[in-house]
């Protein structure tokens, strides 16, 4: 009996092995096909992202691009101790810390407002989206007209008997840039939130209303829970946009702006021009590590907060 069962086991094993073998043959073909389809994009990613990153990493570890002597972590230490890098990092941090929450909260507020039955809803939506259509050069021109030392804002201040403010070259400079950033980004964020709000199940909201839940409770316990992944997405998007505000600042104030407007991208751009590739590379790696940490924290937060909604 035992032998019989042992034979049966062997037969079964052989059969399974054969099936497995047949399966791996087909799988191999399938994998090859997949690889072929993936090859163009993989090679693109390798050439344009992975390889440059390797080069950046290499430059960060050598003393300079000419002699190329291994410098251990000296470049990172130097960059961390560099006054310009510290200023740029602090300014970027301050700007992101103010602009990103504002961009998320205000766009969420606008989305909730426009979700209600208010007059001219459609017109308002279009109004908030228009900055997206305006080219950067035009935005810069508009802000120059408004906030230049001899611009419209100072004319208004003069009319009110207040002395002129050098908006781009004083401590007010970051406020102007935050306004510019919000004006440019609120519309897009708002649309994302409106789409997310519309996908909240209506029956749950109706049940909550029937259960006499207050609007605040509905917002906190239902809407925010359902919007959590969108909030995360909008936050990350705004964070990336906040790093990209350099473009507008550069066009407004050039390579070396007033110190409150000096961002990390200025540091990188200028060090590139002055052939300081090792400084640039070390700064880029530090920046990417910080970005990964921030995004990781956001993810963990979202995972804890909105996990049940995903499930």
Q: Does residue number 309 form part of the binding site for other proteins (CB under 8 A)?
A: no
Least Å from the CB of residue 98 to other proteins: 20
Q: Does residue number 43 form part of the binding site for other proteins (CB under 8 A)?
A: no
Q: Does residue number 95 form part of the binding site for other proteins (CB under 8 A)?
A: no
Question: Which of 98, 146, 200, 236 is close enough to bind other proteins by CB under 8 A?
Answer: 236
Q: Which residues pair with 105 in a beta bridge?
A: none
Residue span 99-138 as binding mask against other proteins, x where in contact by CB under 8 A, dash where not: ----------------------------------------
Contact 167, 173 (CB under 8 A): yes
C-alpha dist (Å) from residue 123 to 90, 118, 119, 130, 230: 39, 11, 9, 11, 24
Q: Does residue number 280 form part of the binding site for other proteins (CB under 8 A)?
A: yes
Query: What b/e sequence results for 273-296 when a residue is b if at least 16 CB atoms lie within 10 Å of its CB, and e otherwise?
Result: eeebbbbbbbbbbbbeeeeeebee
Interacting stretch for other proteins, rule CB under 8 A, among 6-14, 30-38, 92-100, 284-292?
A: 284-292
Residue span 180-199 as binding mask against other proteins, x where in contact by CB under 8 A, dash where not: --------------------
Sign for the pseudo-dihedral over CA of 201, 204, 207, 211: negative
CB nearer to other proteins: pick between 82 and 189? 82
CB nearer to other proteins: pick between 138 and 288? 288
Question: Which of 270, 301, 305, 309 is close enough to bind other proteins by CB under 8 A?
Answer: 270
Q: Which residues pair with 279 in a beta bridge?
A: none
Interacting stretch for other proteins, rule CB under 8 A, among 3-11, 122-130, 134-142, 288-296?
A: 288-296
Least Å from the CB of residue 209 to other proteins: 33
Distance CA 195, CA 311 (A): 20
Query: Residue 146: left if φ>0, alpha if ψ -120 to 50, beta else—which one?
Result: alpha
Q: Does residue number 274 form part of the binding site for other proteins (CB under 8 A)?
A: yes
Nearest to 141 by CA among 105, 169, 180: 180
Question: Which of 122, 123, 150, 163 is close enough to bind other proteins by CB under 8 A?
Answer: 150
Interacting stretch for other proteins, rule CB under 8 A, among 51-59, 97-105, 123-131, 203-211?
A: 51-59
CB nearer to other proteins: pick between 126 and 303? 303
Q: Does residue number 71 form part of the binding site for other proteins (CB under 8 A)?
A: no
Residues 241-260 close enough to bind other proteins by CB under 8 A: 243, 250, 255-259
Least Å from the CB of residue 280 to other proteins: 6
Distance CA 37, CA 138 (A): 41
> What residue ranges bind other proteins (CB under 8 A)?
48-49, 52-53, 55-56, 63-67, 82-84, 87, 149-150, 166, 169, 236, 240, 243, 250, 255-259, 262, 265-277, 280, 283-285, 287-288, 291-292, 295-296, 299, 303
């Amino acid at each position: 009996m035992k032998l019989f069962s042992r034979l049966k086991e062997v037969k079964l094993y052989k059969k399974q092995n054969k099936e497995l073998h047949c399966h791996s043959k087909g799988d191999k073909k399938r994998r090859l096909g997949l690889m072929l389809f993936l090859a163009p994009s993989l090679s693109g990613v390798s050439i344009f992202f992975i390889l440059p990153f390797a080069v950046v990493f290499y430059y960060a570890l050598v003393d300079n691009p000419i002699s190329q002597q291994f410098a251990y972590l000296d470049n990172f230490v130097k960059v961390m101790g560099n006054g310009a890098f510290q200023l740029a990092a602090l300014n970027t941090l301050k700007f992101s810390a103010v602009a990103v929450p504002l961009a998320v909260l205000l766009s969420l507020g606008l989305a909730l407002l426009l979700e209600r039955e208010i007059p001219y809803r459609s017109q308002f939506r279009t109004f908030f989206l228009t900055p997206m259509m305006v080219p950067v050069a035009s935005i810069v021109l508009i802000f120059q007209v408004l906030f230049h030392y001899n611009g419209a804002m100072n004319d208004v201040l003069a009319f009110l008997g207040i002395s002129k403010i050098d908006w781009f070259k004083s401590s007010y400079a970051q406020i102007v840039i935050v306004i510019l950033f919000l004006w440019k980004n609120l519309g897009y964020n708002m649309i994302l939130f409106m789409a997310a709000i519309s996908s909240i199940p209506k029956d749950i909201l109706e049940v909550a209303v029937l259960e006499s839940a207050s609007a605040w409770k509905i917002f906190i316990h239902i809407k925010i829970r359902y919007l959590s992944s969108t909030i995360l997405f909008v936050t990350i998007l705004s964070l990336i946009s906040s790093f990209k505000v350099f473009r507008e600042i550069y066009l407004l104030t050039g390579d070396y702006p007033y110190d409150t407007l000096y961002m990390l991208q200025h540091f990188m751009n200028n060090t590139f021009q002055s052939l300081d590739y090792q400084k640039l590379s070390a700064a880029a790696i530090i920046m990417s590590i910080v970005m990964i940490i921030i995004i990781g924290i956001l993810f963990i937060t979202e995972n804890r907060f909105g996990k049940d909604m995903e499930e």
